[in-house]
């Protein structure tokens, strides 16, 4: 916030819009500039509750979209991940080799955890994933093992 020729100027950069703490700070600055310190943005409990509800809605929307695009044999795993509050995967993940070429595909993947879920018809991709240090699971009876691997 800065004063310029009798006006209060508040600069908001686009990168701040993806950061909930930065957005809250900008809202506080705006409320303060108009003399409204009674607004909910100054109440940490209200702000935290709104942020939590917003995060739940975002994750629910993301889950719905993933369920729409993934193979039906993976839907129970996706729901279980969401129910446990775990990270949601990428659908249709393409593993790349050192030259950046796609060398294998997984129906679901958690790149940050290096965990992949393969459909039975993707079994030949297992060797490529394993060679790059990934943990690989099948849709056939390995759901709990996969969920345990995501907790690590």
Low-confidence ranges of the chain (pLDDT < 70): 1-4, 39-59
For 83-117, how does the pLDDT look when each residue is reduced to its tens digit (9 = 90+)?
A: 988 888 999 999 999 999 999 999 999 999 999 99
Spell 99-124 as b/e; 16+ CB within 10 A means b: eeeebbbbbbbbeebebbbbbeebee
Q: How far is CA 118 from the centre of its chain?
A: 21
Token pair of 129 as six digits: 């994933």
């Amino acid at each position: 916030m800065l004063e310029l020729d009798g006006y209060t100027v508040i600069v908001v950069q686009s990168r701040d819009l993806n950061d909930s703490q930065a957005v809250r700070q900008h809202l506080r600055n705006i409320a303060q500039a108009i003399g409204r310190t009674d607004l909910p943005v100054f109440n940490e409990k209200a702000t935290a509750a709104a942020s939590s509800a917003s995060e739940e809605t975002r994750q629910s929307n993301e889950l719905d979209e993933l369920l729409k695009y993934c193979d039906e044999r993976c839907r129970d795993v996706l729901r279980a991940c969401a129910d446990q509050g775990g990270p949601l995967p990428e659908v249709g993940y393409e593993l790349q080799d050192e030259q950046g070429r796609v060398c294998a595909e997984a129906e679901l993947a958690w790149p940050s955890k290096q965990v992949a879920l393969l459909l039975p018809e993707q079994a030949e991709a297992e060797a490529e994933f394993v060679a790059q240090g990934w943990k690989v699971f099948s849709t056939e009876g390995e759901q709990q093992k996969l969920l345990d691997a995501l907790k690590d």
